[in-house]
Amino acid sequence: MSGEVLTSADYISHHLQNLTFGQHPDGSWGIAHGAEAASEMGFWAFHVDTLGFSIGLGVMFLYIFHRVAKQATADAPSGLQNFAEWVVEFIEDTVKGSFSGRNPLIAPLAFTIFIWIFLMNFMDLIAVDFLPHLAGMIGIPYLRVVPTADPNATLGMAFGVFFLILYYSFKIKGPGGFFSELAFQPFGKLGLPVNLLLEGVNLIAKPISLALRLFGNMYAGEMIFILIAIMYSGGLVLGAFGGLLQIGWAIFHILIITLQAFIFMTLTIVYLDMASQEHH
């Protein structure tokens, strides 16, 4: 968007627009140039930036921890090894405190969720214009760098957890036990319709709450950074005040991005623990 004079509304809209690839109304496939064109592509459009950054950060996470594991030593551990061991111990303690059963999948899943979401959230601390400006220099019209500010990413992760909840509910309780839990709790057989309504809503609310909590917090954080960036165009005094606000919000946002990764991980452990318990 270099060379164009943008209003504040245009600036915000540009930074909140994903790089979308899909089928145009004329049948051709390509990148959407604008929110209206992206909307016309319909459900099967892809957010290329969300997919690219989330997959790239996942690969980086795997590479770093794989390298640490291969080079681990008890004699003179590096700072990165000490950090990795601290994270692993932290995840193990969290799992032991929240998961009452025995399942070798839970700790690796919790570890992956926490680190991956933290890295995606961390992208919100990069200056809002830096990567989009670099992308614009090579002809990329839009670029959102925070995957967790896209509800498609958070819903995708949440529904992945939801499928695990259903899988372990059927595996451990059996179809009959799972249905009994939905139909006969908390009011027994006489409250069958009410039980189904309450437990059904409770079941569906788990992935939705996981997804929307993470998305809402990261979207709000992204929006605040964008609004602060607008202040830089308001002159020296307003720009200096915006710089102070940005530093303060970035420091506070470190807590938010860590807390949101921790909450998503902890709720995943708790939900899988509930799915693994048999009620009699």
Residues involved in catalysis: 209, 213, 217
Amino acid 157 reads M
The closest of 280, 2, 264 to 132, measured between CA atoms, is: 2
The answer to whether 157 touches 113, Cβ cutoff 8 Å, is yes
Half-sphere exposure in the Cβ direction for 278 (13 Å, CA): 9
Burial class (CB in 10 A: 0-12, 13-18, 19+), 251: exposed
CA atoms within 13 A on the CB side of 148: 34
Cβ atoms of residues 229 and 128 within 8 Å:
yes
